[in-house]
Structures are given as structure tokens and as C-alpha cells.
A and B are shown apart, each in its own frame.
Chain A
Amino acid sequence: MVNSENTKAQMRKGVLELCILSILSQGDAYPTEIIEKLKETKLVVVEGTLYPLLTRLKNTGLLTYRWEESTSGPPRKYYMLTEIGATYLKELHLSWYELVDAVNKTINKQD
């Protein structure tokens, strides 16, 4: 039995990094906002996935953050792209389009 759910989850995980960086390139955001945007596009199924990823991106220097007080809850951690993050995202964009192109060609040939 092939578990397609599993494969789909893996595919989503693969592009998650690209998506987070893209969202942040449009403006700073705190995790809940990022999650809401991702949920709109059904890229994230469980929220837990996001936090380790954000921390890892921050630790590798692609992201940084600042604290902002919230009127309704705990202080919010606003993430933003660093310069390295911005260049990294450009590279990812390029390779993403290449990949999509290549994959599309391959899939279409199969048809």
C-alpha cells in the first residue's frame, strides 16, 4: 500500500522553507500570521511543524526577530528576513522555477 498522505506531507515539508521566506519577504510577521497564511493555502496541516523550522532558519542567520507587545496576549515575536535571507530566497526562487519547469516537463512527457 502506498501512503499518498505521507508523500504529500513530505512534499509540503520540502517547500515550506521557501514559503515561509516568501511570506516574510512581503513584510514582517509573527508565527500566528505566518500560520494563517499557510493555512489558507493548505500548506501546513499541523502548526507544530512551523516552530522548529523558524528557529532553524533564525539560527542559520536567514531570519531575525524583534519583540512587540500585544494588547491581547503574550508579547509577539516578529520575524523578518536578513540580507542573507533575502539573497538566499532569490536563489531558492530561481531553483524552484527550474524545478517546477523540470517536473512539469517530466510529468507532461509521461502523459
Chain B
Amino acid sequence: MNKTVTINISGIIFHIEEDAYDKLSKYLSTIKGYFSNADGGNEIMSDIEARIAEMLQSKTSAIKQVVLMSDVDYVMESMGKPEEFAGDSQDNATMDRNEADFEYTSGEPIKRRLYRDGDSKVLGGVCSGIGHYFDFDAVWLRIALLLLFFFGGTGLLLYIILWIAIPEAKTTAEKLAMKGEKADINNISKAVKEEAEQLKKRMQKYGKEFQNMAANNRDVPRNAAEKTVDFLSDILMNVGRVLLKIIGVFMVVFGILFFLGLSGSVFGLSFLTDSNNGGDWIDLLLLDGKDFYLGLTGIALFFGTPLIIIIYVGIKILFKIKYTNRWVNLSGGIIWLIGFLLLLYVGIKTGSDFNKTAKVRENITVKPYETLYLKMHETPLNYDELNMSDKDEEGEKNYRVNHRDNDYMIGNNHGIKYLLGHAQLNIIKSQTDKIDLVIVKEAKGSDKHSATERAKNILYSISQTDSVLEFDNLFKITNADKFRAQDLSIILKLPVGKIVYLDKSLANVMYDVENVTNTYDGDMINRRWVMTENGLKCLDCEGLDENNSDEHEEYDSESHVKINVNGVNINAKDAQIKVDSNGVNINSKESKLTIDENGIHVDAKKKKNK
């Protein structure tokens, strides 16, 4: 007993056995796959179906009503294999095709694959190939790519990647596959249905085998288990394939996005060096213009090549392209290596320019006055040149710059670029009774000599009119000198008894100036300070708190006495006595005495002669 299916071919009803039906429907869909793209494909199909109906009719009668497997075999034999006659629907070029070309084995319609179409190409047939794959006119793609070309040449690059990644359809089989059955929704649902049917059958088969298992031998369960494993691995394979596709999409999309970003910044750097941005910094860091472009090329190759490879691999995953071009991997590696070497070269060359540090001291004689007025130059800089927004809105001159510390800025004076850095002012006690002003300039270079030269080239000026000392707030470095960690500090050595008035314009320049009351730099301005034996002391600080003396005692380790529940702690300038739960500890500059759980320990340091 066999189950039959009722089918309708060319308007005639047939009863056909289930397995025979499967075979026939597979056969018909295979033929359909061949003719789906041919002229009059539907007509050919209906002619063929009419003929099959006729043949089947001759095989059935009132006595033999059902179409059997042997009847289907007869039909297939007389009609022939699709690959034997499908060529006639194509142009004559396919007539001379070789059977060996044909990868057709499964009995399924040919799955559409992505190939370059050499027959209707403009450059490499990439666009027409993609057009075949997605069923649209290649012209639109060509236009789109041409437009993309104006975005940093992305279109061209994408085209070249596709050209390399997609193989050309050379044999007839490849040309057929290029226009093969499209993976559209109908096909997919059909495939899913078939898959589900097969699954059902397999499950039924497994069920039977499990039923037989008890009655028959023991080989069956192991066999069934193996089959279950096969089945599970089938499912895993399918899930894996989907995941791979998703990964492919991500690779292509992100590869292109990152590449756009990279090409944008590289082209931006090479074209926009006039404006106040990263290009200037690279320009200031590198040795000269040639290295600047070498560096850019290095960056482009070093970061661009992996991105291109990512896009390339993504495309291959997406379109299941198995064909590999070994020159791609090789040349990709070489280009990347070139980029790496370029970066290495520029990096080492630039880095070696930071090798040695040199300090240059310039002494400036200051005419002595009882009280010195220290302030900034009236117009130390044209702030407009700096593109800076921290000009005081009320019109009052304000030399405060938001970024203190070691921030550098780029200035632009009539097209000539220069680097600006913050100078630092410190006031200390003079060992003599003369007022000394020292400018310490610092810079790095490949050797001591060039570092010294560079330090000397730092532009900075201090001028004195009567008792007024005027400072620049920023020091200048010309672009030719490059940025080599230049730094500049001013040390005013003030004898005991002399007085300085710190103008409020100095707030930006003063750097941790020591004083007896530990007043912060910001609070020292607008006041007069006298130099005493212990340091600067404020003359008109009434009303100003002595900067929270409790707090700063904590971290003032210079000299204090502290007695509390923890013990005794006496700190002098060069000595310390500490008594606490650990024992007694006496330290001086030259020796050390410790009494603790280990006993008494005396340590006298040897004087080192330097």
C-alpha cells in the first residue's frame, strides 16, 4: 500500500505515488530553474508540461490509474536531463559548452551566484554582475559608484575591492549561475518547506528505528544516535551560516564607515593644514614637510589596508565567493608592511628629536628699587590670532587663559604659524643683596647642541621701566623649530627687605610661589609682598585668612610639632622625631635611630662626596 498525491499537469489530473511525485516535482523545478531567465521561459515550461501530461496519460488507463516511479523515470529519460537541452534557450555561445564545465550534480536548480559579467562590462563587469545578482539595471549602480568617487575616492576603492573579490564568469556553468535562480522569497519558502518535509520524514524514520530498537539488535540505537547527531549538526550548520552572513554584513558596513572616516581625516590633514587643527600639530611635531606626507601615507596604508581586507572578506562571506586570489593576501600584507615601516621611520626620526634635553639660563640685570611692580605687558599677544574665546566680555583686558599648566597653543600671524606656551614665574630669596632675574629656557633635540639651539630660539621678553617689570605671558616658538617640549620659567631672586607688588595680570603666570602664609597664587595678586628671611610675607593682607592653617599643616612636612593620641611627631627641616605605637624613630639627614620590636637600630649614613 502506498500513499498517492493528486496533481494537475497542464489541466489534467493525475494520481501519483508520493515518492514519484517528489522526484517529478524536483525535476520540473530544475528545468524551471534553467529556463527562468530565458526568453519565453514560461512558454517552454508549459510546452514541456503538456508533453509530460501526454506521456503520463499514455502510461495510465482505467485499470492502472496511478502514476508510478517507473513512469516518472520513463518521462525523465525521454525528456532528457535539463542540462542536456537547456543550452538551446541561451545564445549560440552556449552550444559549444563542455559537459565538464557543469557543476550541476544535485538535481536542484542552479543557485544564483555573484560573478563579474565580462560580456557586458564597462571596466571589469562588476556592476553588471551585481546587477544580474540583484535583478536591476547596472547603470544605476555605475552612477552610484561614480557619485561615491567624490567622497574621498570611496567609489573607486570599493570598485577595485569588488573587482578583486568577485570572480569573472568564464565558463558557461558560471555564466548560467550568474543568472541562475534567484534567492527570492518564493524560493526561500519553497526551500524551507522542502526542508521541513524532509525533517518530518527523517523524524518518522528515526521514530521507526527507535521502535525497532527494542525488538532488534543493539546496533540500531547507536546508528540512530549517530543520525541524531548528524541532524543536530545540520541545524548548527544552518545557524552558523546565518551568523556568518550577519558577520559579513557587519564587516562590509563597518569597514566602509571606518574607511570613510580614515580617508576623511587623512585627506583633511593634508588639505586643511591652514586651519587651526590637528594638521598643525602633526606639522609641528614632525621634522619637515616631507615627513609630514610620509607620515600621512603611513597612517593611510597602516590603518587602511586592514579595513580594505575586512571589506573584502566581508563581501566574500556575503556572496559565498570561494575563489581566492593569493596575490590579494600577499600584496595586502606588503602594503601594510610598507605603511608600518613608514610610520616606524617617521616615529623614530621624530622620537629621536626628543632625545636630549637642554636648559639655557639667561640672566637679566634688574635696576634695584625698594618696591618692584611686576605686571604683564599691556598687549602681550593679539588674542584674535589665537582663535580663542576667553576674551573678557565686558571689554576689560583679561589675560587669563583657561588652559593653564602645559597646554600649548597655535598662533597665526599673517600666515606664519608659531607655537605658544605658558611661562611660569617664581619668586625666591636671593642669596646676595642684588635683585636677579633668571630666565630658564628648556627644549629637547636629537643632541645636546640642537636642543640648546632650540632652547635659545624661544622668544620671550621682559622689560623694565623705572620700578615696573613687564613680562610676556606666553613664550613663542617658530614653526621651523617645531614642538620639542619647550618650556620656560622665570625666577626672580629677591634680597631680604625688598618689596614686590604683584599685579593681577600675573595670575596666569605665577606658579606655586612660596610664601610664609602659604597663600595660593590666585590670592597673592594685587598685594605687596616683602622678602623676609623665611620667604615672602604679605604687607597688606588684612582681612585675608591665613589660608586655613589647620589644613595645610597636614601636608606641610617642612616643620611642625604635633602631639596627640597617636604619639609625638616633631618635624624639622632636616630632622624628624617620631614616637608612636611602632616605637621611637629619630631621623636626621645623616643618621637614623630606631627603637622597635626588633631592638635598637642605629644607622649612620656615609657622607657621599659628589
**Interface, chain A (partner B; CB < 8 A):** 6, 10, 13, 31-32, 35, 45-56, 58-59, 72-77
Among B11, B39, B47, which residue has the most Cβ atoms of chain A within 10 A?
Answer: B47
Interface footprint category on B: 20 to 34
State A62–B78 Cα separation when bound (angstroms): 26
* A13 near B88: Cβ-Cβ < 8 Å: yes
CA distance A72 to B38 in the complex (A): 31
Q: Is the CB of B79 within 8 A of A74?
A: no
CA distance A55 to B44 in the complex (A): 6
For B37-64 the 0/1 string (1 means CB < 8 A from A) is: 0111001100110110110010000000
Taking a contact as CB atoms closer than 8 A, the residue among A10, A32, A45, A75 that contacts B80 in the complex is A45
Please, how many angstroms separate the alpha-carbon atoms of A53 and B44 in the complex? 9
Q: Is the CB of A52 within 8 A of B12?
A: no
Which secondary structure dominates chain B's binding surface?
A: helix
Give the shortest distance, in Å, between B42 (CB) and chain A (any CB).
10
Residues of B within 8 A of A32 (CB): 51, 54
Question: When the two chains form their complex, are residues A73 and B54 in contact, meaning their CB atoms are under 8 A apart?
Answer: yes
Cβ B85 vs Cβ A52 within 8 A: yes
B96 in contact with A10 (CB, 8 Å)? yes
Name the A residues within 8 Å of B80 (CB-CB).
45-49
Asked whether A73 and B81 contact (CB < 8 A) given A10-B96, A55-B43, the answer is: no
List of A residues within 8 angstroms of B89 by Cβ = 52, 55-56
- Report the separation of the CA atoms of residues A77 and B35 in the bound assembly, to the nearest whole angstrom: 20
* A54 contact from B10, B47, B54, B81, Cβ within 8 A: B47
A-B contact pairs, 6 of them (CB 8 A): A31-B47, A46-B78, A49-B84, A55-B43, A55-B47, A59-B40
**Could you tell me if A48 and B79 are in contact, using CB atoms closer than 8 angstroms?**
yes
Which residues of A sit under 8 angstroms from B50, Cβ to Cβ? 31, 74-77
Option from A49, A58, A73 in Cβ contact (under 8 Å) with B57:
A73
Given contacts A55-B44, A77-B47, contact A49 B85 (CB under 8 A): yes
The answer to whether B78 and A47 touch across the interface, beta carbons within 8 angstroms, is: yes
Asked if B82 is an interface residue, CB under 8 A from chain A, the answer is yes
Question: Chain B interface (Cβ within 8 Å of chain A)?
Answer: 10-12, 31, 35, 38-40, 43-44, 47-48, 50-51, 53-54, 57, 78-82, 84-86, 88-89, 95-96, 99
Nearest CB of chain B from residue A69's CB, rounded to whole Å? 11
Of the listed residues A10, A48, A74, A77, the one surrounded by the most CB atoms of chain B closer than 10 A to its CB is: A48
Is A46 touching B84 in the complex (CB atoms < 8 A)?
yes
CA distance A47 to B84 in the complex (A): 10
Contacts of B78 in A (CB 8 A): 46-47
Whether B39 and A51, one on each chain, are in contact in the complex, defined by CB atoms closer than 8 angstroms, is no
A55 with B40, Cβ < 8 A, contacts A46-B85, A48-B80 known: yes
Alpha-carbon gap, A6 to B81, bound state (A): 15
- Other A-B pairs beyond A46-B81, A55-B40, A73-B53, 7, CB < 8 Å: A6-B99, A31-B50, A51-B51, A55-B89, A59-B40, A74-B12, A74-B54
B51 adjacent to A13 (CB under 8 Å): no
Q: Is the CB of B11 within 8 A of A51?
A: no
- Quick one: closest A residue to B42, CB to CB? A55
Q: CA A25 – CA B86 in complex, angstroms?
A: 26
Interface of A is mostly: helix
B79 touches A47 (CB 8 A): yes
Tell me the nearest residue of chain B to A35, going by C-beta: B51
Decide: B53 and A48 in contact? CB cutoff 8 A: no
Shortest Cβ gap from B87 to chain A (Å)? 8
Nearest chain A CB to B127's CB is how many angstroms away? 28
> With a CB–CB cut-off of 8 A, which chain A residues contact B88?
13, 49, 52-53, 56
Q: Which residue among B31, B35, B39, B43 has the maximum number of chain A CB atoms within 10 Å of its CB?
A: B43
- Known contacts A49-B88, A52-B88; A10/B95 CB under 8 A: yes
Nearest residue (CB) in B for A49 is: B85
Give bound CA distance, A35 to B48, whole Å. Answer: 12
CA distance A46 to B39 in the complex (A): 21
Task: Find out whether the CB atom of A48 lies under 8 angstroms from the CB atom of B12.
Answer: no
Task: Determine if B12 and A73 form an interchain contact, defined as CB atoms under 8 angstroms apart.
Answer: yes
In whole angstroms, what is the CA distance A32 to B52 when docked?
A: 10
A45 to B48, CA, bound (A): 16
Chain B residue nearest in CB terms to A70: B54
B10 with A74: CB separation less than 8 A:
yes
Q: Are A59 and B51 in contact (CB under 8 A)?
A: no
Q: Is the CB of A48 within 8 A of B84?
A: yes
Contact (Cβ within 8 A) B81 A56: no
Q: How far is the CB of B8 from chain A (nearest CB, A)?
A: 11
Contact A48 B43 (CB under 8 A): no
Report whether A51 and B10 are in contact in the complex, using a CB–CB cutoff of 8 Å: no
> Is B82 in contact with A52, judged by CB distance below 8 angstroms?
no
B96: chain A residues within 8 A (beta carbon): 10
Q: Which chain B residues border A74 with CB–CB below 8 Å? A: 10-12, 50, 53-54
Collect the chain A residues with CB atoms within 8 Å of residue B57's CB: 72-73
Using CB atoms, name the residue of chain B closest to A60: B39
Ordered nearest first, which 3 A-B pairs have the shortest CB separation? A46-B80, A48-B85, A52-B89
Which residues of chain A are near B86, meaning CB under 8 Å?
A: 48, 52
In the complex, A56 Cα to B40 Cα: how many Å?
8
Which A residues lie within 8 Å of B47 (CB)? Answer: 31, 51, 54-55, 77
Least distance between B396 CB and chain A CB atoms (Å): 90
CA A23 to CA B86, docked complex, whole Å: 23
Contacts of A31 in B (CB 8 A): 47, 50-51
| CB–CB A52/B84 < 8 A | no
Tell me the minimal C-beta distance from A81 to chain B in angstroms: 18
Q: Which of A49, A55, A58 has the most CB of B within 10 A?
A: A55
Q: Provide the bound-state CA to CA distance between A13 and B89, in Å.
A: 12
Q: Is the CB of B38 within 8 A of A48?
A: no
Measured between beta carbons, the chain B residues less than 8 angstroms from A72 are 57
Which one of B51, B57, B78, B89 has the greatest number of beta carbons of chain A within 10 Å?
A: B51
CB neighbours of A10 from chain B (8 A): 95-96
**Residues on the A chain within 8 Å of B82, using CB:** 48
Shortest C-beta distance, A35 to chain B (Å), equals: 8
Measured CB to CB, the closest approach of chain A to B434, in angstroms, equals: 111
* Closest B residue, CB atoms, query A76: B50
Alpha-carbon gap, A10 to B99, bound state (A): 12
Q: With a CB–CB cut-off of 8 A, which chain A residues contact B12?
A: 73-74
